[in-house]
Chain A
Amino acid sequence: MQQYYLERTLQAVITVVSVMTLAFFLLRLMPGNPADAYRAELIQNNPQLSQADIDHRVEQKLNVLPDAPLHEQYINYVAGLLQGDLGESINEGVPVSEIISEALPWTIFTMSLALLLSFAIGISFGAIMAYKEGSYFDNGLSVLSIFCNSIPNYIVGILSIWFLGYQLELFPTGGRYSTEMEPTVGLLEPIQTLAFLGDALWHASLLILSYTVVAAGGWALRMRGNSIQVLGEEYLRVARLRGLSERRIATRYVGRNAVLPLYTALLIAIGFALGGSVILEQVFTYPGVGYYMIEGLEARDYPLMMGVFLVMTVAVVLGVYIADLTYGLIDPRAQTRGGDHR
C-alpha cells in the first residue's frame, strides 16, 4: 500500500509539473505578448500619443519584461515557484500571489456552495427517480435533468440575470457584496459577520444558481443510474428477505452503494469547478480567480495567467489525488483490489 501511495503522489507531482511546463510554453506561443497588449491599450486610450511616446511608455512599463531565452525564463520561473514566488503581475504591478489570495476565497465560496448544493439536490432526486423508475416522475425528471445538464451554465447565467436580476430585480447582477457593506468576518462581531455573509450570498446567488441547475442534472442522472444498478443486486433481495425496513435498505444499502462511485467524481469536480468559474465569473462580473484569468489573458499577463492556471491545475490534481488515496478507505473493496493488483 505504501508503494501505491508513493506512486500516486509521484503521479500527482509529475502531472502538475507537466501541465505547468506545457502551460508556460503554450502561453508564450499565443500571438501577441504583454508589450503588444499594452501598446494596443495605450493606442486605444491615447490616440494623441506619438509612436515614440508609446514606445517609451511601453518600455517604462515593461522594463521588467525578461528578454532572456525561453528556457532560462522557465528555469527562473520554476526557481521562483519553489520559493513560493508566483511572480509579479505585469499589468497590475503587484505580486500574483496577492491577487490570487484576494480572489480565490470568493471563487471557493461560490463554487463550493454551488457544488455541494448541486450534489445534494442531484443525488436526492437521482435516488428518488431510481426508486420510481418508469413512473411519470422518473420520466419527467430524467428529461429535465438531461435538459439542464445539456445547457452551458453561462446560458443559465444570462437567463437568470435577465429574469431574476433585471426583470424581477430580486438579485444583484454583479459584484461580490454591496458597496455599503463593510466586509467583516470575525467571531467577535457575529451580527456584522452574518450580515456580510448574507449579503455576499445574496450577490453570489445567481452565479451559484447557474452552476447548480446545470450540475444537479448531471448528478441526478448519475445517481439514478447507480441506484438502479444497485437495486438489481442480489444482496438487496436478501436484505428484504431478512425483513429489513425499506428505509434502512434505501439509506444503508442502496444510497450508500450508489453514491460511492460519485465520491470520486465529486472530488474531481471540485477542481474542475475552479476552471468552470472562468466564464461564469465574467458573466456575473464577479472578481474571483476566473475573472482575473481573463484579465491576464487580455493583457497577455503571463505571470498572472500562469498563477491562476497553476491554482486550477493543482485543484484538479489534488481532487483526483485525494480521491485516489481515500476511496479505498470508504470502499474497502477497492482497497483490496488495489492491494491485490499491486
Chain B
Amino acid sequence: MRSEGMFHRDVEASRRPFLQLVGATGAAALAGCFGTDSSPSNEEITGDEPMTDRTFTAPTSVLPEDMQWNSANDSNYPDRPGYVVFDRLVYFQATTGEFVAGALADWEVTEDAATLTVQDDLTWHNGTDATADDLVRKLHISLYDSHPIGNFTAVENVTAVDETTVEVGLETTVSEPVFLNSIKSMLLDTPAAQYDDILSELEDDPESTALSDFAAAEPIGTGPFQYERTGEQELVTTKFEDSHWADRVNFAEYRFRFIDGNEQAWQAIRGGSVDALHNIFTSPDIMGSFPNSVLEIQQPANWGLSIAFDHDHKHFGRRAVRKAIAHAVDREIVAENSAGGGDAKAPVGTPTGIVGNFDDSADDWLDNPGGFEEYAGRNTDRAAELLESAGFSMEDGTWVDEDGETLTFECKVPAAWNEWVDALITFNQHLQDFGIETNLITRDDSVYFGQDLYGDTGFDAAGFWWSDGWTYPYHSLNWNLNSADAQTVYNYPTSVDVPPKGDPDGDPETVELAPELEALVGMDADSDAARRKIQELAWIFNYDLPQLPVQEKIDQCFVSVENFKVAENPDPATSVQYPTTYLPRVGKLVAKAED
C-alpha cells in the first residue's frame, strides 16, 4: 500500500516493472490495436452549462477501502482525491507564473509579515464555517511537521487577526514568490473536529507522533466535492453545494476508480471506464491508440533529469571533465529518446539552473543568454580540447588521465524509472562514442535512493533532478548550488572559484554560495537587484556545472470529451498541477448536457 504522489508510479516512474509487465501490459497493448472510432470532439465552454447528473471518473492508485485522509500520514493517503476534496491554499498557473485563489482569497507578503485572507464563504463539508482559525491550525500543524514554511516563521508568529485574516510574522525577509511557492502544495485539510486534539498534543510535545499516526477514516474538506462512500473499487464524492466553487460545477459526482499501474490506466481511458488520467507519461504510440475523444493537456512540471557528478571523484571533481561531458552529450536526442519520440521531455537549452525550457522562458531571466555557454552537444572538438587542457589524452580510442588511468565511470539510475533509463542509455552511448568508458547500472528504487544517493554507497555519476518542482529561480539555484542535498548527495563545495559573469577568461574569484542565495531569498522578485543576482548565480551554475541538467519534464493529463468539455492548452488554468482536480473548480471542466 502506498500514497499517491506527485511523481508516483503514473508519472516519471513506472514502478513494479515485472508485475506491471505481466499485469495488463500485454492486454493493454493488444487492446490498443482494436476498436473503431467515431468519437465526439471537444466543445466550447459557454459558462451557462446546465447542472447534470453526470459522473466524472478518474483513477486513484490507493485501494478505496484502505484510504485514510490525513495528508501527514503517508500510508494510503489518496493524493489525487485529496486535491478534489480539499482546497489548496493557492493554485499556481505554471505557464504564466501566476498564483491564483484557492482557500485563500488574497495574500500580501511584506518585509516582516505575510497576510493571508481566507475566502469568506468557505465552508467545511460538515457544515461549519472555515475561518482564519482553521488556517492558523493548518499552519501550526505544518510547522510542527517540519514544513518548509518553517524556514521563514515559527508557530508563535502565526496568528488570526480577525475572522478571515491570518498574519504570519516572518523571521527572515522573503520575497512573495518564494513564500507562495512554499505554501502552494498546502491543503486546507485540518478541520477542528479532527485535528484540534492533535494540535494540542503537538503543542505539549513537538516530538509527538500523534499527527503521523492519525488516520482519518473520512475527510472533512472545503473542496467542490465531498466524500460520499468507498466501495471495493471506487471512491465516490458528490458535489458540495455549499462550496464556494459550486456555481461553476455542473456534474453531480466525481468518482475515483482504483487503477494500479500505467497499462491499466491507459486501457481504462481507451475503454471509457474513466473520463480522465490525472498525470501519466504516455508516449506517442500509446497516445495513438486512444480514441479521438481523448485530449492531451500538458503542464510544465518544473522538474527533470540531470546527471549528478560526485564532486569528490578524482575525475568529476574537475570542472573540465564535467564540461567535456556536457559538450559531448546531445541533450535533444537524449530527451527525445527518453520521451519515446514524443514531446513530453523538453531538452535543457542553456544549462543555467533556471527552469522554463519547455517554452524557453528560462532565458527570460537572462539579459544576454548568448553570453552563457550553451553546451550544444556532440561538440567533440570542444570536449576533447577541454580534456586535453586538463591533462587527459586519447589512447586507443579511450581517454586516459595524466596517470594513465582510464576515464571511466558507472552511471546509476533507478531501474523502474523507464524514462530515465532510456535517457541514460543514450547519454552513455554519446560518451562512449566520444571515448569515455561508461557503464549503466540500474538499481532498485529503495537501494538507489536509500543507499546510493542518500546513503553510504555513493556513486560516480547518477541520474538526479536539477529542479525541485518550484519555478522561481531561487529554488532551483539554491537546490543545485547550496542545498543540503547538493552538499551531501554530490558533495558540492560551499564555495567555488569562477570568473566574473560574462568573462570566462577573467580572473577567478571565490564565491561563497550560501550568502549569495540568502541575499536572493529576501529580494523583491521584480527588482533589478534580484534579476542581477539570479544571473550571477546562473553564471556560476553554467560555468561550474554542479550537475548537468538534461531535460525538463512535461506532465501529461488526458481527458475524454465524450461527456465533458474541457479547456485546452494554452489556457493558463490547464497549467495548474493536476488540472483534472482544478479545472472543475473554475468551470473549465464541465459536463455536456445530458441527452
B504 interfacial contact with A, CB 8 Å: no
| Beta-carbon contact of B449 and A36 below 8 Å | yes
Residues of B within 8 A of A46 (CB): 5-6
Closest Cβ–Cβ distance, residue B142 to chain A (whole Å): 11
| Chain B interface residues (CB < 8 Å from chain A) | 1-8, 12-13, 15-16, 19, 22-28, 30-31, 34, 63-64, 66, 73-76, 79, 146-148, 185, 209, 212-213, 215, 231-234, 236, 258-261, 264, 267, 271, 303, 414, 444-451, 454-455, 465, 468-470, 483-485, 488-489
The answer, among A45, A57, A283, for a CB contact under 8 Å with B146, is: A57
Closest Cβ–Cβ distance, residue B15 to chain A (whole Å): 7
Q: Please choose the segment from A27-35, A136-144, A310-318 that sits at the chain B interface, where 4 or more of its residues have CB less than 8 A away.
A: A27-35
A324 interfacial contact with B, CB 8 Å: no
- A51-B454, A51-B485, A173-B264 are contacts. A162–B26 as well, Cβ < 8 Å? yes
A residues 237-295 touching B (CB-CB < 8 Å): 279, 282-283, 285, 287, 292, 294-295
Residues of A within 8 A of B79 (CB): 45
Residues of B within 8 A of A43 (CB): 449
The answer, among A33, A61, A181, for a CB contact under 8 Å with B232, is: A181
A residues 12-64 touching B (CB-CB < 8 Å): 31-33, 35-54, 56-57, 60-61, 63
| Beta-carbon contact of B233 and A174 below 8 Å | yes
Residues of B within 8 A of A33 (CB): 446, 450
Known: A44-B12, A51-B483, A179-B232. 15 other contacts (CB 8 A): A36-B447, A36-B455, A41-B3, A42-B74, A52-B484, A92-B66, A161-B24, A166-B28, A166-B271, A174-B260, A178-B232, A283-B22, A283-B23, A298-B15, A299-B2
Closest Cβ–Cβ distance, residue B217 to chain A (whole Å): 13
Residues of A within 8 A of B267 (CB): 166, 173
Closest Cβ–Cβ distance, residue A173 to chain B (whole Å): 7
The answer, among B74, B232, B454, B483, for a CB contact under 8 Å with A177, is: B232
Residues of A within 8 A of B74 (CB): 38, 41-42, 45, 57, 61
Closest to A283 in B: B23
- A61-B74, A162-B31, A287-B63 are contacts. A32–B468 as well, Cβ < 8 Å? no
Closest to B7 in A: A44
Give the one of A32, A42, A292, A294 with max B CB within 10 A.
A32
- Compute how far the CA of A52 lies from the CA of B151 in the bound complex, rounded to whole angstroms: 12
Closest to B303 in A: A47
Residues of A within 8 A of B447 (CB): 31-32, 36
The answer, among B13, B63, B76, B469, for a CB contact under 8 Å with A48, is: B469
Residues of A within 8 A of B485 (CB): 50-51
- Compute how far the CA of A257 lies from the CA of B357 in the bound complex, rounded to whole angstroms: 75
| Beta-carbon contact of B185 and A47 below 8 Å | no
| Beta-carbon contact of A285 and B212 below 8 Å | no
Residues of A within 8 A of B236 (CB): 179
- A40-B450, A175-B258 are contacts. A48–B484 as well, Cβ < 8 Å? no
Closest 7 CB pairs of A and B: A36-B450, A45-B5, A179-B231, A32-B446, A162-B27, A40-B449, A37-B446
The answer, among A44, A60, A294, for a CB contact under 8 Å with B212, is: A60
Residues of A within 8 A of B260 (CB): 174, 285
- A44-B13, A52-B484, A295-B1 are contacts. A31–B264 as well, Cβ < 8 Å? no
| Beta-carbon contact of B446 and A91 below 8 Å | no
| Beta-carbon contact of B3 and A45 below 8 Å | yes
Q: Mark A177-203, 1 if CB is under 8 A from B, else 0.
A: 111110100000000000000000000
A-B contact pairs, 23 of them (CB 8 A): A32-B446, A33-B450, A35-B450, A36-B451, A37-B450, A41-B2, A45-B74, A46-B6, A48-B185, A50-B484, A60-B209, A92-B1, A92-B76, A93-B215, A157-B22, A162-B26, A166-B27, A166-B28, A173-B27, A174-B260, A181-B232, A285-B258, A299-B2
Closest Cβ–Cβ distance, residue A291 to chain B (whole Å): 9
Closest Cβ–Cβ distance, residue A187 to chain B (whole Å): 23
Residues of A within 8 A of B444 (CB): 31-32
| Beta-carbon contact of A50 and B271 below 8 Å | no
A165 interfacial contact with B, CB 8 Å: yes
Closest Cβ–Cβ distance, residue A44 to chain B (whole Å): 4
Residues of B within 8 A of A32 (CB): 444-447, 450-451
- Compute how far the CA of A187 lies from the CA of B451 in the bound complex, rounded to whole angstroms: 54
- Compute how far the CA of A285 lies from the CA of B465 in the bound complex, rounded to whole angstroms: 32
Closest to B213 in A: A93
Residues of B within 8 A of A222 (CB): none
Closest Cβ–Cβ distance, residue A50 to chain B (whole Å): 6
Residues of B within 8 A of A166 (CB): 27-28, 31, 267, 271
A159 interfacial contact with B, CB 8 Å: yes
- Compute how far the CA of A53 lies from the CA of B469 in the bound complex, rounded to whole angstroms: 16
Q: Mark A132-174, 1 if CB is under 8 A from B, else 0.
A: 0000000000000000000000110111011001110100011
Closest Cβ–Cβ distance, residue A259 to chain B (whole Å): 33
A176 interfacial contact with B, CB 8 Å: yes
Residues of A within 8 A of B449 (CB): 36, 39-40, 43
| Beta-carbon contact of B148 and A279 below 8 Å | no
| Beta-carbon contact of A41 and B5 below 8 Å | yes
- Compute how far the CA of A45 lies from the CA of B483 in the bound complex, rounded to whole angstroms: 19
| Beta-carbon contact of B233 and A39 below 8 Å | no
Residues of B within 8 A of A47 (CB): 6-7, 303, 465, 468-469
| Beta-carbon contact of B215 and A161 below 8 Å | no
- Compute how far the CA of A161 lies from the CA of B29 in the bound complex, rounded to whole angstroms: 12
Residues of B within 8 A of A158 (CB): 22-27
Closest Cβ–Cβ distance, residue A195 to chain B (whole Å): 14
| Beta-carbon contact of B446 and A161 below 8 Å | no
Residues of A within 8 A of B259 (CB): 285
Closest Cβ–Cβ distance, residue A178 to chain B (whole Å): 7
The answer, among A45, A287, A292, for a CB contact under 8 Å with B6, is: A45
- A50-B484, A51-B485, A175-B258 are contacts. A161–B27 as well, Cβ < 8 Å? yes
Residues of B within 8 A of A93 (CB): 73, 75, 213, 215
Closest to A282 in B: B19
Closest to B147 in A: A53
Closest to B414 in A: A40
- Compute how far the CA of A40 lies from the CA of B260 in the bound complex, rounded to whole angstroms: 19
The answer, among A48, A56, A159, for a CB contact under 8 Å with B26, is: A159
Closest Cβ–Cβ distance, residue A170 to chain B (whole Å): 13
Residues of B within 8 A of A282 (CB): 16, 19, 22-23
- Compute how far the CA of A166 lies from the CA of B260 in the bound complex, rounded to whole angstroms: 16
Closest Cβ–Cβ distance, residue A93 to chain B (whole Å): 5
